[in-house]
């Protein structure tokens, strides 16, 4: 099965002692993969494009931290499997990374609905991101979360063009308008998410 269409199953998970023995190497091996899947847009929005490998490691880490065993595993699979792209999409975790707590709180209060303003551009096509099926990430008072999970659905034609044309990712919020061009290596790495 191609990695672009995989889900994590219980059979994929290493037992905790085995994971502990391999953890350092597994994390080290994933660093270059994650580096190519990270895109900064403006001063504090960073997109981490997820795939099977990033989500597998996340599940393993959650099991290591919480030590909930088989009972915990089902919940982790329900949480993280929806963040693995399934062949016609990209899925990204958008982090609004502001170190100073007071500044972060004040800024997040101005960015309500930011998750609805994210897009990809491939030539003349503008592909709006849609928030994943998680709870609303903006509160009633207009404060947004510092973490959002976003899905970009592409048509077969857009997928073909993604592999060869200039791709821009942007945020078009009235208080945060920034764009970045995907580098060739990043674009090539993300293109592997398409079946």
**β-strands 89-96, 147-153: how paired?**
antiparallel
- Per-residue model confidence (pLDDT) at position 139: 72
Query: What is the domain range of residue 63?
Result: 3-191
Question: Is this model's pTM higher than 0.85 or not?
Answer: yes
Mean confidence (pLDDT) of the chain: 92
pLDDT score at 141: 75
Counting residues of the chain whose pLDDT is more than 70, the rounded percentage is 94
Dihedral sign from CA coordinates of 51, 185, 146, 170: negative
Tell me the mean pLDDT in the region 145-167: 95
- Residue indicated by tokens 């847009």: 41
At residue 1 the predicted structure's pLDDT band, cuts being 50, 70 and 90, is very low
Count of residues making up the chain: 195
Specify whether the CB–CB gap between 108 and 144 falls below 8 A.
Answer: yes
pLDDT at 132 over 90: no
Total number of domains in the chain? 1
Left if phi > 0, otherwise alpha if psi is -120 to 50, otherwise beta: which for 144? Answer: beta
């Amino acid at each position: 099965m191609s990695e672009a269409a995989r889900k994590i199953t219980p059979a994929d998970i290493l037992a905790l002692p085995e994971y502990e023995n391999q953890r350092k190497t597994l994390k080290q091996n994933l660093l270059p993969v994650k580096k190519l899947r990270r895109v900064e847009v403006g001063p504090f929005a960073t997109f981490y494009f997820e795939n099977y490998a990033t989500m597998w490691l996340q599940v393993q880490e959650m099991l290591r931290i919480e030590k909930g065993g088989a009972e915990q595993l089902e919940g982790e699979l329900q949480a993280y499997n929806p963040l693995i792209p399934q062949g016609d999409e990209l899925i990204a975790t958008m982090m609004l990374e502001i170190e100073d707590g007071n500044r972060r709180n004040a800024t997040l209060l101005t960015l309500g609905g930011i998750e609805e303003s994210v897009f990809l551009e491939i030539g003349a096509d503008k592909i709006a991101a849609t928030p994943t099926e998680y709870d609303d990430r903006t509160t009633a008072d207009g404060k947004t979360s510092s973490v959002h999970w976003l899905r970009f659905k592409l048509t077969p034609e857009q997928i073909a063009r993604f592999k060869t044309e200039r791709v821009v990712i942007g945020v078009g919020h009235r208080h945060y308008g920034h764009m970045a061009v995907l580098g060739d290596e990043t674009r090539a790495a993300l293109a592997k998410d398409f079946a």
